[in-house]
Amino acid sequence: MTQFSEFHSIPALGEALRSRRISAAELAADALRAARGYRDPNVFLHIDDDLTLAQARAADQALADGQAGPLTGIPIAHKDLFVTRGWRTTAASRMLADYVSPFDATVVDHLRQAGAVSLGKLSCDEFAMGSGNENSAFGPVCNPWDADRIPGGSSGGSAAAVAAGLVLGATGTDTGGSVRQPAAYCGVSGIKPTYGTVSRYGIIAYASSLDQAGPLARSARDLVPLLDTMSGFDPQDSTSLESCDGRPNASGRIQADFDAAQSVFQAAGDQPLKGLRIGVPREFFNEGLAADVGAAIESALQVFESLGATRVDISLPRTRLSIPAYYVIAPAEASSNLSRYDGVRYGHRAAQYTDLADMTSRSRSEGFGDEVRRRILVGTYVLSHGYYDAYYLQAQRVRRMIVDDFQRALSQDCDVIMGPVTPGTARRIGDNRQDPIADWLGDIYTLGVSLAGLPGMSIPCGFGGDSGRLPIGLQIVGRYFDEGRLLALADRYQQTTDWHQRTPEHA
């Protein structure tokens, strides 16, 4: 256990740092020892003590000068999809095994300027392609609750590090559920904001119209300063939004919205959520949902009802179509984005080859893993002449229909949508090795939110599985730019329950 584990939350640790009861340098040194000594060596892909301790000393100086913010001195770590100066950025792939970026991603830069202290780079599925963190070229990550189970993916290293208490917060990326699903499997909180809220500059691209960065932490309250710091317009990212419903997309917006929602809740007394309509999609509760997951979600919904909210039955009729639509669009964009890794301009180059074409073929075959090659092939096929209209354009039309389903529900029927994150609890490592499509089908509840670009989050709401000790997550989906209120709703739930406070036995 680390020294900071006794403080339980980012606000509590921040107060201890500001009161000088503990120093950032002491925390960083302790966290580095814990990270290096953790039972799963695959969680971190690169640690550099000198870089971390230099950031910690800078945080201590800011604290001494009275210039500390809510994240000054807080130990965090970054998914290995964010480029970083000093630390390697590999995207968990042999293709980029020794790459060190000359600049920081915008998200990394924002958190560093806010005083957060990075311990290094966390494992993920290769180029963010996967749902179990088994596709890393450097070995799978284990779930802290059960070492035989996956932590989820692609941000599995981030979720595992938070669950194990190695950091208080971590960055992740969510293309089709890759923040929410590992958060659910590891019993932590995670949020994917509205597409365009957080800059993608410096994030190694998988599917550009879907990729969005988001934080993972123990609780919703811990997510607030992390997401608030990460957010903001970035002119270096062509998909970054300048405004959110007429307001500037800038740091401070999410914290202000969170505080405003909390004020409304507090004024309502013992029924803080009175008037809130929770949409529950009937398509999320079918034969594919495990009984233990369904029971946990039902219990969570009853807690919200006890706080004054009203449950509304809604329909998202194209839920099943989100899987084929996503697995046409995302691989198509991946095929385009990863074409730059050819052994000439970027990445691994084969040692032996006969000509340029052979060099490219061998370099890509050696550098990319099975899942990445699979998705590149699918994407190249659906973009090829004769199939573009039949597959890619058709998938984009279905995407528009899925957006319309969510828009209709959130504008006419309900204020937020709640349901499961995953059909079941974390599976065993290697279970789907011979059937990768089974993992794709497990994304059914998260893909539609990503295709629509809506904000969505996962918070712990119970346990299940064969042992009864595997975490279950509740998904909360809101309207565009509604991150602050989603976090406030989650915080209200977490004030009433203690699922988010429970930790793995050996963490």
Catalytic residues: 79, 154, 178
- Give strand pairing partners of 77: 170
Residue 195 region by backbone torsions, left for phi larger than 0, else alpha for psi between -120 and 50, else beta: beta
CA dihedral 232, 116, 78, 142 (to 10 degrees): -130
- For 219, counting Cβ atoms within 10 Å of its Cβ (0-12 exposed, 13-18 middle, 19+ buried), the class is buried
Q: Are 494 and 459 in contact (CB under 8 A)?
A: yes
> Which residues touch 50 (CB under 8 Å, ≥6 apart)?
none
Alpha carbons within 13 A on the beta-carbon side of 50: 3
Three-state secondary structure of 414-440: CCEEEEECCCCCCCECCCCCCCHHHHH
User: What distance in Å separates the CA atoms of residue 329 and residue 340, rounded to the nearest whole number?
Assistant: 19
Could you tell me the maximum CA-CA distance found in the chain, to the nearest angstrom?
75
The strand pair at 189-192 and 456-464 is best described as: antiparallel
Nearest CA to 155 among 396, 423, 446?
A: 446
Per the omega criterion (within 30 degrees of 0), is the bond before 189 cis? no
User: What distance in Å separates the CA atoms of residue 124 and residue 174, rounded to the nearest whole number?
Assistant: 12
Of the chain, the end-to-end C-alpha distance in Å amounts to 7
Structure tokens at 221: 């309250």
